[in-house]
Amino acid sequence: MHDIRLIRDDPAAFDAALARRGLAAQADAILAIDAARRARIAAAEGALAERNAASKLVGAARAKGDEAEFERLRALVAAKKAEIATLEEEAKAEDARLTDALMALPNLPLESIPDGADESGNVEVSRKGAPRDYPFKPKEHFEIGEAMGLMDFETAAKLSGSRFVVLSGALIRLHRALSQFMIDRHVDENGLTETWTPVLVRDEAMLGTGQLPKFAEDSYRTENGWWLIPTAEVTLTNTVAGEILDESALPRRMVAHTQCFRSEAGSAGKDTRGMLRQHQFEKVEMVSIVRPEDGEAELERMRGCAEGVLDALEIPYRTVVLCAGDMGFGARKTYDIEVWLPGQNAYREISSCSWCGDFQARRMNARFRRGAEGKPEFVHTLNGSGLAVGRALIAVIETWQEADGGVTIPRPLRRYMRDAERIGPDGTLA
């Protein structure tokens, strides 16, 4: 959420930043609501002062025996009391309007972020590893998995509909190996604290990280009001909601492996084959809570943590910085890491690492204090996939596919796979 004081101080700059996101000017409308709210607050304070002054004179009028003045003052006190109640209710309504308006607006991009309306405006910042030359035409992951008999979309559709999969045997073991490898690496080498969180959350948690109110259709809600998390960013970030942390407790770096659920609203016709875009999937998510001055450096650190997983698995990838028009709702700067998928002959996203500044912290009222006498300040929050497990499975299958339909198991994963070196075309470990 945005600081209304910054909009008051420079409405033109606020609108210019929104324009980079492809949005129309909003400052005038927001400031009109803010002015109406402040006017009612001021009027209520003025009416309260008048009521208090009249209240002091009521007793004096009665003591003097001035019954007419006593009745006038008593009526005035009653009228001011009713006026104050009305003004306070109106101020409360305007405050709610202001909050709703601010909640609906995305974060402002950093000035250094490239301009652009969509992914075509993203800028590549690095590339690691060259795509392999295959002595055969590379297949897509679902062709390999289905031929092994270990990737079943037909049964999943019978159970749940489209955009689900049933994995079995060596492939689900490889999937599990990837998640365990990622967690172990982030905890043992990158210093993150492994955290287990619920996958069902209240409205407040989804509001805090920006999934609500604007993107309700992108998530699933149970009949009794819980939301299924679209990412552990929601739960990990909200662990500090409503808190005032000691500066010594920062940075707080967490990682969680969870199920995630997304309705994929608006994605009809996109990635209908295979596992790339699923309603239910697993992700290893990183979240950092830091001081404002540490946000940008922490983003680079988080990006390195995600890239390091791909380095270890020897999977080619590139990293792009997203342009202003392609960033997520809560981000002020985002890196997307894209793996090379030889079956698709294209780079596809496997991680997004974002610095949100104090945008989420304001929504959650998450703050910290510098020293015992310091004034509470909003923390900065960051999140990033470290990585999406299903997409990592896709990348391993396609990158390490063999001519006979088998798949080589990357060396870091073999200790989780009974020391097997490959999955044969018949789906057995060898």
Q: What confidence score (pLDDT) does residue 273 get?
A: 87
Q: Whole-angstrom Cα distance, residue 5 to residue 170?
A: 57
Domains of the chain by start residue, with CATH: 4-103 (1.10.287.40), 119-423 (3.30.930.10)
Q: Is 348 helix (H, G, I), strand (E, B) or coil?
A: strand
Q: Where are the beta strands (DSSP E) in 120-273?
A: 123-128, 151-152, 166-167, 193-194, 200-201, 220-221, 227-228, 244-246, 252-261
Taking a C-beta distance cutoff of 8 angstroms, is the pair 108, 325 a contact? no
pLDDT band at 8 (very low <50, low <70, confident <90, very high): very high
**Mean local confidence (pLDDT), 166-181:** 98
Q: Whole-angstrom Cα distance, residue 196 to residue 87?
A: 46
**Mean local confidence (pLDDT), 10-22:** 97
For residue range 75-105, what is the model confidence (pLDDT) as tens digits? 898 999 999 999 999 999 999 999 999 999 9
Taking a C-beta distance cutoff of 8 angstroms, is the pair 304, 125 a contact? no
**Mean local confidence (pLDDT), 26-42:** 97
**Mean local confidence (pLDDT), 238-267:** 94
Q: What confidence score (pLDDT) does residue 135 get?
A: 96
Q: Whole-angstrom Cα distance, residue 5 to residue 401?
A: 56
Annotated binding site for ATP: 262-264, 349-352
pLDDT band at 63 (very low <50, low <70, confident <90, very high): confident
What's the pTM? 0.93
**Mean local confidence (pLDDT), 122-140:** 96
Q: Is 312 helix (H, G, I), strand (E, B) or coil?
A: helix
Q: Whole-angstrom Cα distance, residue 354 to residue 376?
A: 24
pLDDT at 407 over 80: yes
For residue range 231-250, what is the model confidence (pLDDT) as tens digits? 999 999 999 999 999 999 99
pLDDT at 179 over 90: yes
pLDDT at 272 over 80: no
Phi-psi region of 280 (alpha: psi -120 to 50; beta: other; left: phi over 0): beta
Q: What confidence score (pLDDT) does residue 62 get?
A: 80
pLDDT band at 295 (very low <50, low <70, confident <90, very high): very high
pLDDT at 40 over 80: yes
208 alpha-carbon distance from chain centroid: 9
Cα torsion through 152, 158, 161, 167, rounded to 10: -20
For residue range 342-383, what is the model confidence (pLDDT) as tens digits? 999 999 999 999 999 999 999 999 999 998 889 999 999 999
pLDDT at 18 over 70: yes
Annotated binding site for L-serine: 231-233, 262, 285, 383, 385
Annotated binding site: 231-233, 262-264, 285, 349-352, 383, 385
**Mean local confidence (pLDDT), 204-216:** 93
pLDDT at 269 over 80: no
Q: What confidence score (pLDDT) does residue 384 get?
A: 98
The average confidence (pLDDT) of the chain is 95
pLDDT band at 68 (very low <50, low <70, confident <90, very high): confident
pLDDT at 202 over 80: yes
pLDDT at 21 over 70: yes
pLDDT band at 268 (very low <50, low <70, confident <90, very high): low
pLDDT band at 266 (very low <50, low <70, confident <90, very high): low
Decide which of 62 and 17 is more confident.
17
By annotation, the residues acting in catalysis are 262, 277, 349, 352, 391
